[in-house]
Amino acid sequence: MITDIEITKPEPVAPGEKIETFKRGTDVSLTIEALEAGNPILVTEFYSNGLSLLRELHSHLSRKLPKKSFQEQREYRSEYHKLSNLILIRIVDQKLAVKKAPSIGWLEKFYPEINEFLLSFPQVQGLNSSWQWYQNGLSIPVLRNKVHPYYGTYFPTRFEHLQLFDDWLTGYEGPRKSAIEVGIGCGVLSLQMVQNGFHKVFGTDINPNAIVGLAESMGDTELSRKIELDFGNLFGKWDKPAELIVFNPPWLPKSHDLDKIDEAIYYDENLFSDFFTGAKQRLLPEGKMLLIFSNLAQITNVTKDHPIERELEDGGRFQLEKHLKKPMKASSGKTKRDQAWRSSEEVELWILVHK
């Protein structure tokens, strides 16, 4: 039962021994020194004090660490993640115990029986943003209706790959009886397929929050009978072959241990070989397999290896029918990161068939 799946949520920290506090007037330099020494800091009085401390931490790290290359940006984010998660905030009776704090519905939903605990300030920020997206919904250009992503579920913030897939779907003349989507996330690709006439989509995800969130949002509707879900790795329990297999895998090889939402962004060394092995068994003889990918790892010098090209060259299982590309739009002018490589970033749609 999907309702029995245990979701991923921030692990509550029990209030324990006295922790140094940060409020208005506290020495910022000494506080950051404490963080770099591995000591937790508790934000008190106002919610804005936590925001202020995070800004100071960003400024401190910007002076200390370069952010020119893609790899340096990853290192900066890793250090910021480590230090910022030592900044804590207290929750009492499912509310943040500081003044002028946002109301976050996830606190009641996820921790109904815990009256007092601590979370890191970035975790609270994530819960707050996620609650707004979940409540208000997000408009996706290729969909008629908004999506309401559940906490901890990946959702797209750029849409070129979705447009590329939608253009292909519009011109697709094959059967639309069944499809499998591996890694369904918040459901955008499956919703696109249903919107384009597919009778049944079988969706899987290794992230329990994605499955629980989609099941909850679809409820007992016609859509819930067209999109069937399974919490599992790659193809999960779906063994029956389908006309179409769709996979939007992570675009970067992993370099550290991953949490569930990171698994939507970074892939491990076995992901693609395991996927292609399973796809060979589940794609109907005249079926098509679509992979949405990017040249991001290559243009940022993270790796020269392209896992789809490697499969076509060495796998002996599939052949290329078509390879479509679309340039990615430049990132927002508001960003302070050096992202010159964005100008050569492309999303890719690989259409493969049996060899």
Say if residue 11's pLDDT is above 50: yes
Residue 71's pLDDT is 80
| CA 346 to chain centroid | 19
Burial 115-135 (b: 16+ CB within 10 A, else e): eebbbbbbbbbbbbebbebbe
Cβ burial, residue 329 (10 Å; 0-12/13-18/19+): exposed
Residue 75's pLDDT is 85
Report the C-alpha gap between 34 and 19 in whole angstroms.
11
Pairing verdict, β 178-182 and 200-205: parallel
Residue 157's pLDDT is 87
Please state the φ and ψ torsions of residue 57, each to the nearest 5 degrees. Answer: -65, -45
pLDDT single digits (tens) 45-80: 999 999 999 999 999 998 888 877 778 788 888 899
Class of domain 137-354: alpha beta
| Domain coordinates in residue numbering, the chain | 2-134, 137-354
Report the C-alpha gap between 48 and 101 in whole angstroms.
8
| CA 116 to chain centroid | 29
More confident residue, 302 or 48: 48
Residue 341's pLDDT is 52
Residue 44's pLDDT is 95
Residue 109's pLDDT is 94
More confident residue, 350 or 295: 350
pLDDT single digits (tens) 148-175: 999 999 899 889 999 999 999 999 999 9
Do the Cβ atoms of 163 and 326 come closer than 8 Å?
yes
Averaged pLDDT, 37-48: 95
Residue 252's pLDDT is 76
Report the C-alpha gap between 151 and 7 in whole angstroms.
9
Q: Give the chain's mean pLDDT.
A: 89
Averaged pLDDT, 282-289: 96
Do the Cβ atoms of 57 and 32 come closer than 8 Å?
yes
Say if residue 343's pLDDT is above 70: no
pLDDT single digits (tens) 229-249: 999 999 999 999 999 999 999
Say if residue 36's pLDDT is above 60: yes
The H-or-E segment that residue 349 falls in is strand 346-354
Residue 129's pLDDT is 96
Residue 303's pLDDT is 75
Residue 250's pLDDT is 86
